[in-house]
Amino acid sequence: AKKIKIAIDGPAGSGKSTIAEKLANILKINYLNSGALYRIIGYYLNEQKMDPKDSKNIENILEKLNIEIKNNRYFLDGVDVTTTIKDSKIGDLASLYSQNNIVRKKVNEIIKQIAEKVSIVVDGRDIGTVVLPDSDIKIYLTASLEERAKRRWNEEKGEEANISFNDILEEIKSRDYNDSNRSIAPLKPARDAIIIDTTNLSIEEVLQKILKIVEESG
Ligand code: C5P
């Protein structure tokens, strides 16, 4: 069968990881979460106390870094960090270090290597615009700021009882700002992306819309 590449981009809390993983399962193809790669690297560089602007030393460190992905689990030097990196503080580290072009190059290489070999759904901020511009299908998911904060709050309040809705809203707002206004690979829909506003849609409804797009694309 023909290989297929599906890019799903969008801001924090737009539901892209949930949708992308489910879509990949339904289509029985691979799923790659590019945000997880930025999170792993952000986490590691922070542990090493690296200055986010110190490209020379970052390059040396990244050359030796060993990231593996097996069954949707992410491993750093052999250790499963899938759960660790979900923390919102690590999301902030990812956002910080992802502004360095050496970091972006490393992540993009990993994604391209995998996408060359297998059919895949990749989610992120710049997949349709920069990393895999030749994707067969490009989806840009979005939702109102309030709705995205609400989703994150529902996810996180179980784990961190002392986090307020307003904290999360402010966090998402500043993440949006950083991701959309950075000079390299800013968050924006590709010219040929299909934009889906998920504010008033359930996960199931979004999935059905995308499956229809996949079907119609042949
Ligand atoms: O999607 P997620 O929240 O896990 O991404 C964490 C951070 O990684 C984002 O806020 C963004 O700064 C960065 N990122 C990126 N490009 C991607 C995916 C994530 O810059 N393709």
Write the ipTM. 0.98
Span from the CA of 16 to the centroid of ligand 1 (angstroms): 11
User: What pLDDT was estimated at residue 1?
Assistant: 66
Ligand 1 atom nearest to CA at 127: 21
End-to-end CA distance of the chain: 12
Question: Taking 70 as the threshold, does the pLDDT of residue 2 lie above it?
Answer: yes
Is residue 18 a known part of a binding site?
yes
Task: Out of 34, 89, 131, 175, give the residue to mutate to test ligand 1, the one with the largest number of ligand atoms within 8 Å of its CB.
Answer: 34
Cβ pair 124, 64 in contact under 8 A: no
State pTM to two decimals.
0.94
Is residue 17 a known part of a binding site?
yes
- Sorted by where each starts, the structural domains of the chain and their CATH numbers stand as 5-210 (3.40.50.300)
Inter-helix orientation angle 101-117/55-64, to 10°: 30
Residue with tokens 């050496």: 102
Is residue 202 a known part of a binding site?
no
Cα angle: 38, vertex 180, 104; to 5 degrees: 30
Report which protein residue has its CA nearest ligand 1's atom 13.
Answer: 95
Q: What is the mean pLDDT of the chain?
A: 94
